[in-house]
Amino acid sequence: MATIAAAPATQRGAAGKPGPTGTSGGHLVRKRRLFWPFLAPALILYVVFLVAPTIVTGVLSFTRWAGAGDTPQFTGFAGYLRMFASDSFRSALVNTLMYVVVGGIGTFLLAFLFTMVLRDMPGGKLVRTILFFPNIVAPVALAMFFSFLFKSDDKGLANFVLGGLGIDPVRFLAPENVTLTVIGALVWASSGFYITILMAAVDRIPPYLYEDAEIAGASAWQKFRAITLPLTWDVVGVAGVLWTINALKIFELVFVLAGPGTYSPPTAAWTLGIYVFDRSFGSQGTPDYGGASACAVVMIALTSVFVVLLRRLMRRDTIQF
């Protein structure tokens, strides 16, 4: 989307230049004088609160610093090496990759399945509205709901239903199970968003393509494979990028579901987002701003790598229809 966005703006700039005749030229010059006053407030806030802090985090990641009262000491890559060797970081990294990859596959498979059905389903618009609903609910509230659903003793709603079916209670939120449980919760909570994005693209496909395929006797899978997927490919790519960005920073859902709530959960359930938080603002022990910054750098590096890889993988010639 970024490269597409650039095109019209540059064309406008080129087209505006060669015609400085009469009043329209003078107007153009006066118009351009607005550029910096209009852009400056947003740009300054952006640079001060987002660009500069990102750079500072990068610098801090090479230091050892316990926060207020301590002075940062430059340690080079020692902090990174220590972090990569620690169990808490390793499980945070593995869990985060699980959320991105396993959760992503689950969400997109579900979304694809839904596109096959929702396109010509009566009442489909209403169904879509209901499916989208979890996206306007605070993750922290969703997490509370899931904590009631998955309580480990027979108090939990899921175990209540399982008990009714004569099945022994499952410890959904035990450290060894919680990642899978949260992946399920995450897929449930986010699939509505991706279904909506994909369906917006599917709705733009001319219906006669599907009608022709139906007359030819194509199955639902064949229609998906030959029409839906190729014609929504670009949107699938953008949705994949959005998924990666969002799943990599997962925090509240895991923090509340895996732990006692106010304090950090056991390290086996950590994500990178929890690692950063625990090492900087978590309530236990002295803060380790250097280590937290190093993990934050890993987060932004992973985001960049995934986004670039996805765009590379999804690249192909545009299909006009």
Partner 1 sequence: MTVADVGRKAPRRPRPAPGAGRRSPLRVLGMVVVLGFTAFNLLVLYWLIAASFKTPVEIFTKPFALPVRWFQLGKPLRNFAYAWDQAGFGDAFLTTVVLVAASSAAIVLVSAPAAYALTRLGVRGSGPLTNLIAVGMGVPFQTVIIPLFIGLSTVHLTDSLFGLFLVYVALSIPFTVFLLTGFFRSLSDEMEEAAAIDGASPLRTFFAVMLPLARGGLITALILNAIGLWNETLLAIVFLQSQAHFTLARALFTFYGAAEYQSEYGGLIAGVTILVLPMLVLYLVLARRIITGLTLGSGK
Tell me which residues in 69-108 interact with partner 1 (CB under 8 A): none
Site string for partner 1, 292-321 (x = CB under 8 A): xx-xxx-xx--xx--x--------------
Q: Considering only residues 83, 100, 183, 201, which one is a binding residue for partner 1 as defined by CB under 8 A?
A: 201
Question: Which tokens belong to 318?
Answer: 């545009």
> CB–CB of 151/145 below 8 Å?
no
Q: How far is CA 158 from CA 74, 135, 177, 317, in A?
A: 50, 22, 14, 47
> CB–CB of 96/250 below 8 Å?
yes
148 binding partner 1? (CB under 8 A): yes
223 binding partner 1? (CB under 8 A): yes
230 binding partner 1? (CB under 8 A): no
What minimum distance in Å lies between the beta carbon of 145 and partner 1? Answer: 7
123 binding partner 1? (CB under 8 A): yes
Where helices occur in 17-138 by DSSP H, the ranges are: 22-32, 35-46, 52-60, 78-85, 87-118, 124-132
* Distance (Å, whole) CA 213 – CA 271: 45
229 binding partner 1? (CB under 8 A): no
The one-character DSSP state at 259 is S
60 binding partner 1? (CB under 8 A): yes
15 binding partner 1? (CB under 8 A): yes
What minimum distance in Å lies between the beta carbon of 42 and partner 1? Answer: 4
Size of the site for partner 1 (CB under 8 A): 127
Q: Considering only residues 261, 286, 313, 316, which one is a binding residue for partner 1 as defined by CB under 8 A?
A: 261
Of 297, 273, 274, 277, which Cα lies nearest the Cα of 287?
A: 277
Please choose, out of 35-43, 75-83, 171-179, 312-320, the segment that lies near partner 1 by the rule CB under 8 A: 35-43
Q: How far is CA 44 from CA 32, 35, 54, 189, in A?
A: 19, 14, 15, 35
What minimum distance in Å lies between the beta carbon of 190 and partner 1? Answer: 12
